[in-house]
Every structure is written in C-alpha cells, then in structure tokens.
C-alpha cells in the first residue's frame, strides 16, 4: 500500500520523491560580469583567506562601495562562503555595503573627526555646516580619531587628511579634487644609510652581534612597550625566542586611541629607524614573516612604508624574513593585539580569550612577537648608544624617554619627546609654551580616552608607567589631552563614552550592552550614581578585553574629581 501511495503522489507532483530538483542552486548567484571585474582587479595576486580585507579594500577603492554582486563574486573567487565575506565587510567602518536595490553613496566621502580634541576645536560645528556647504554629491559622516589631534579639527576627504579644517577650506579641497593623501618629505633609504642606518642590522646579519646580546641590551634599558600596555620589551623578545619555530612577528601600527599620533609622527619623519628596529626584532626571534598593520586613517604612512619596504628588500636588507604590509579598515578594537591578529588573518577584529597569549599561540597559531611602532623605533638607539644612555633621561626617579602626543588647550600641541616622569605642569610649560591664551588648566587626560582624567590640582604627578594607577588612571600610549576652565565636563565625558559605544566590537555582553547603557545614563539630567557605579564594576570585571575594562575610567574619574561639574 505504501508503494501505491508513493506512486500516486508522483503522479500528482512529478518532483516528489526526487532530490536536487532545484532549477538553480541556493543563495545569491554569481554575476559573470561582476566576477570578471573582481578577477581583473585582483590580477595574479593570491586568493588566500588572510587577504580578504586587502581585496575588500581594492573593491572599495575602485567602486567607492562594496556592491553585493562584487561580494558574491569575491566569495566565489576566494572559495569562501558568502557569509564569511559579509561578516568581515560589515564589521569595519570604512567598508560601505550596497545591496542591489540600494543607491550607492556619492563618489566622495568626507569624514569629520568627532573625537574629543577635534570637538574642542570646533568639530561639531564643522559637522553641522559641511552638508549644506558641499551639497548632495558629497557624503558627510562622523568618524573617530584620525591621529591629527594636534592639528584639530580634522577631516578626511576620501583618503586625504585635511587638518585645521574649516568649512571653506574643505569645500575648496573637494572642489579641486584633493582626495589623495599628501606624502610629507622624509629621509629615504640612502639618506638614512648615510647617517649610519642599517649598520646594526648588518652587524646582526653578519654574525658580529648575537640575539642574546641584543635582548640583554633591551632588558638593561628597561624599555617597555610604548603602545600602552608597557610590557618589558627585552623580556617579550626572550619569551618568543624560547618558543618552538616557526615564529612570526606582527607590528601594531593601529594607534586609534583618541589623542594619540606619535606613531604617525615617527613614520612620517624617520621610517627607516622603525624598519631597522623591526628587522632586528625579526632576526632576534627568527621570525619567518613580519606583518605590519597600519590603520587606514594613515594612508600617507601606508604609502611611505610600501615604498620604503620595497627599497629595503631591493637592497638585500631583509634576507631573513618576508615583510607583509597590511591595511586596517576603521576599527579601534584592532589596536588590541589579539584583535589585530584576527584582522591580519582576514577576519573580524574580535579579541581572543587569553591565555594562550600571542607569544605562544599568535598569528596563524604560531608564536608571535608583537611590538608597536614606537617601541621598535628606539631599538637601534638603545643598542648602539647603550642602556645607560636611555637611563640617563628621566625625572622624579623615572628613567627613559617618552613621546607625549599633546593636544587640547595648549599654545604648541604636537609630539613632545620628554623625560619619563615629567609632570603635567612641566610638560605644558617647558614643551608646549604654556596654556592657550585665555585658558586655565582644569584637568587632563594622561593616557587618552581610556586613561582616565585628572584635575589641575594633580598636575605635579610624574607621568610614567606605574605612577598613575593609584589615582585610577594610567599613561597608556602617553596621549595627553589638556582641558581648560572653558570645557564642559559633562560634554567631555559623553564624548568619551560615546566613542567606546561606537567602537565596541560587540563580542561580549558587558561591553556591548554596558557602553550603550552608560551613554543613555549620562544623558539623563539627573544621574543615577549607584547604577552607574555598579555598571562600571561589571564592565571592568567581566569584559573580555581592555576596551570594555577601561571604558568607564573617564566616568570614574569625573565622579571622583569633578563631581561639582556634573552632579
């Protein structure tokens, strides 16, 4: 009887009982014309999974957005599931996905920095004025810190950084098509070699130096990671070298902390000193490959490095390792080392759980040495001049030099190379020309948005690792933002909390929900201080990475030091 029923069903529904009756395969079909465009754009380059973000950049740069048809074609070309391409493309702020029925954005996008230093210099007003000034053929959007805090306000016109921006100057730049980055003058390879550059690297490659001797020099100097965490550099090199080969190296050039621009300064003014330190580090830990990750907001630095890395390779200065230059895509979270590794691998920048630490299981699962740009910049000087030279600098019992990125209400903002342990009062008076006219010091951020806020009455604390933690702050990457008596502390705090809300990767609930909740709470006329305090405790204790753990530091500082301004 079952057979008779089945035969009857087949007579009524001819497809019943058969498999694979779908006329077309499931999912979005690949458009042959889009596939041809993708293939032409990628050329003979690799289709490896870790190059997904690089290929998305090529599409974004060519078509000013990511059309759905191109994403489907790219997935087919790279042999990835379409969802893998979409989840990465939708994670990063600098990619614009356009579905079939949607209109593509205008060919020119103007990004207006809305981070603290730029807002203090008129960024919000600029954001209001530009849409009407530029018209409907130009898209104007908010954007986080661009590393131009000392020349605020800043905007990016396409990929061109435009500093000290006004509505008129931006309109003029757009009208003249100034959408490509300006490459500043800098010493190239031959000029650097003429000053003794790459002599130390040559000595390493020729066997005149040993890896242990370089590690000992760094350990003696007590050079610490200058990207924010402050881990001893020599010790990190030793840990990685002790792990089983093959080993890798990754350079963190994603300095997205609001108020920070020192890595940009060194890449623009002396790139080979950084590159030599990087190549020495790769030699010490025997890294087969080095991945240099630079934030997309620094197109001029990417262009400089692309040119000079090619020159280094042509000169035979990197026989011991392969150098890969990778471009970020607008995600502050990728400044966290494990999120950066995920991004280099072509994935969303989601921080990893630790342990294991990257020195053991890092990039592509291999032991990985991670240093930031400035840390590597100092390697040559410390080894050649000796640990005593480095230690000869410092004040108030501290040793070494610190590159302070100073912005805000001072006469002369910029990168200030000063002794470790200098106080805020000394830094302002001796290196910044004092406070700006008509402004009196009210407070300062010693370590960017996540480093907390201290009042003017605490401007005599030495600025260095380990000196600020007892006050609920830290120096981090030494991003100093100077506040004055004209600043509204509620507005300052909201700006910082909104930054963390926008930049949370969303992976863990305490940070994803907590950052959004914090902004809503401080927007209320009367603050629920017990609830804010409880929220801060949960986020600090339960968030996966430093973003969520430190996001409430500004709130804690304001409640402690500026209560009369906000309550």
- The secondary structure of 437-504, three-state, reads CCCCEEEEECCCCCCCCEEHHHCCCECCCCCCHHHCCCCCCCEEEEEECCCCHHHHHHHHHHHHHHHC
Q: Burial, 25: exposed, middle or buried (Cβ in 10 Å; 0-12, 13-18, 19+)?
A: exposed
pLDDT average, residue stretch 417-441: 97
pLDDT at 101: 81
Tell me the two tokens of residue 186. 């800098």
Tell me the two tokens of residue 220. 């003696």
Whether residue 17 is predicted with pLDDT greater than 60 in this model: the reply is no
Q: How confident is the model at residue 140 (pLDDT cuts 50, 70, 90)?
A: very high
Phi, psi of 442 (to 5 degrees): -110, -40
Tell me the two tokens of residue 560. 């402690």
The answer for residues whose C-beta is within 8 angstroms of residue 551's C-beta and 6 or more apart is: 450, 497, 500, 504, 511, 514, 515, 518, 539, 543
pLDDT at 344: 98
Q: Determine contact, residues 320/202, Cβ cutoff 8 Å.
A: no
Q: Determine contact, residues 293/250, Cβ cutoff 8 Å.
A: yes
Q: How confident is the model at residue 100 (pLDDT cuts 50, 70, 90)?
A: confident
The answer for residues whose C-beta is within 8 angstroms of residue 438's C-beta and 6 or more apart is: 486
pLDDT at 10: 54
Mean pLDDT of the chain: 94
pLDDT at 28: 78
Q: How confident is the model at residue 567 (pLDDT cuts 50, 70, 90)?
A: confident
Whether residue 235 is predicted with pLDDT greater than 70 in this model: the reply is yes
- pLDDT, tens only, 144-180: 999 999 999 999 999 899 999 999 999 999 999 998 8
Q: How confident is the model at residue 1 (pLDDT cuts 50, 70, 90)?
A: very low
- Residue 242 CA to residue 236 CA, distance in Å, equals 10
**Dihedral (CA of 75, 80, 84, 88) sign:** negative
CA distances (Å), origin 134, targets 93, 105, 122, 169? 22, 14, 18, 11
- Say what percent of the chain tops pLDDT 70: 95
- pLDDT, tens only, 461-500: 999 999 999 999 999 999 999 999 999 999 999 999 999 9
pLDDT at 81: 95
pLDDT average, residue stretch 275-304: 98
Q: Determine contact, residues 443/455, Cβ cutoff 8 Å.
A: yes
- pLDDT, tens only, 319-363: 999 999 999 999 999 999 999 999 999 999 999 999 999 999 999
Lowest mean pLDDT among 15-24, 99-108, 245-254, 366-375: 15-24
Q: How confident is the model at residue 24 (pLDDT cuts 50, 70, 90)?
A: low
Whether residue 5 is predicted with pLDDT greater than 80 in this model: the reply is no
pLDDT at 2: 56
- Residue 200 CA to residue 545 CA, distance in Å, equals 37
Whether residue 204 is predicted with pLDDT greater than 50 in this model: the reply is yes
Q: Determine contact, residues 68/104, Cβ cutoff 8 Å.
A: no
* Closest among 181, 178, 172 to 108, alpha carbons compared: 178
pLDDT at 425: 98
Looking at the DSSP bridge assignments, the partners of residue 113 are 143
């Amino acid at each position: 009887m079952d057979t008779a029923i089945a035969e009857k069903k087949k007579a009524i529904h001819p497809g019943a009982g058969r498999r694979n009756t779908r006329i077309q395969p499931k999912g979005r079909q690949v458009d042959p014309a889009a596939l041809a465009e993708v293939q032409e754009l990628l050329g003979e380059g690799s289709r490896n999974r870790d190059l997904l973000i690089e290929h998305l950049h090529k599409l974004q740069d060519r078509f000013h957005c990511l059309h759905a048809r191109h994403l489907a074609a790219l997935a087919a070309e790279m042999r990835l599931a379409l969802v893998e391409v979409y989840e990465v493309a939708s994670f990063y702020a600098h990619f614009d996905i356009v579905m079939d029925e949607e209109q593509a954005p205008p060919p020119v996008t103007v990004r207006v920095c809305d981070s603290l230093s730029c807002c203090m210099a008129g960024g919000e007003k600029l954001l209001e004025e530009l849409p009407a000034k530029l018209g409907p053929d130009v898209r104007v959007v908010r954007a986080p810190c661009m590393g131009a805090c000392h020349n605020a306000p800043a905007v990016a016109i396409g990929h061109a950084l435009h500093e000290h921006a006004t509505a008129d100057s931006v309109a003029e730049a757009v009208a003249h098509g100034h959408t490509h980055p300006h490459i500043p003058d800098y010493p190239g390879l031959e000029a650097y070699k003429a000053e003794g550059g790459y002599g130390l690297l040559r000595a390493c490659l020729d066997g005149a130096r040993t890896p242990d001797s370089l590690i000992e020099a760094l350990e003696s100097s007590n050079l610490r990671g200058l990207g924010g965490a402050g881990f001893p550099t020599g010790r990190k090199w030793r840990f990685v070298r002790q792990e089983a080969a093959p080993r890798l190296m990754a350079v963190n050039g994603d300095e997205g902390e609001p108020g920070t621009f020192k890595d940009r300064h060194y890449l623009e003014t002396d790139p080979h000193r950084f590159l030599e330190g990087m190549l020495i580090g790769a030699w010490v830990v025997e890294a087969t490959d080095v991945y240099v990750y630079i934030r997309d907001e620094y197109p001029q630095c990417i262009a400089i490095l692309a040119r000079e890395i090619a020159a280094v390779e042509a000169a035979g200065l990197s026989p011991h390792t392969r150098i890969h230059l990778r471009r970020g895509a607008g995600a502050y979270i990728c400044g966290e080392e494990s999120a950066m590794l995920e991004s280099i691998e072509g994935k969303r920048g989601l921080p990893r759980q630790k342990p294991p630490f990257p020195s053991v299981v890092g990039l592509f699962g291999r032991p990985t040495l991670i240093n930031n740009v400035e840390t590597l910049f100092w390697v040559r000087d410390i080894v050649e001049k000796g640990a005593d030279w480095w230690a000869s600098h410092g004040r108030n019992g501290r040793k070494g030099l610190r590159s302070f990125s100073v912005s805000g209400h001072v006469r002369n903002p910029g990168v200030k190379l000063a002794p470790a342990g200098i106080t805020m009062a000394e830094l302002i008076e001796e290196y910044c020309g004092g406070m700006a006219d008509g402004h009196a010091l009210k407070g300062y951020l010693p370590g960017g948005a996540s480093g907390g806020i201290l009042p003017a009455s605490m401007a005599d604390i030495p600025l260095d690792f380990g000196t600020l933690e007892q006050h609920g702050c830290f120096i981090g990457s030494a991003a100093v933002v100077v506040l004055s008596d004209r600043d509204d502390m509620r507005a300052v705090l909201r700006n910082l909390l909104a930054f963390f809300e926008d930049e949370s990767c969303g992976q863990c609930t305490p940070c994803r929900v907590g950052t959004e909740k914090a902004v809503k709470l401080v927007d209320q006329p009367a603050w629920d201080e017990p609830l804010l305090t409880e929220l801060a405790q949960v986020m600090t204790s339960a968030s996966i990475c430093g973003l969520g753990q430190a996001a409430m530091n500004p709130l804690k500082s304001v409640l402690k030091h500026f209560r009369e301004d906000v309550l």
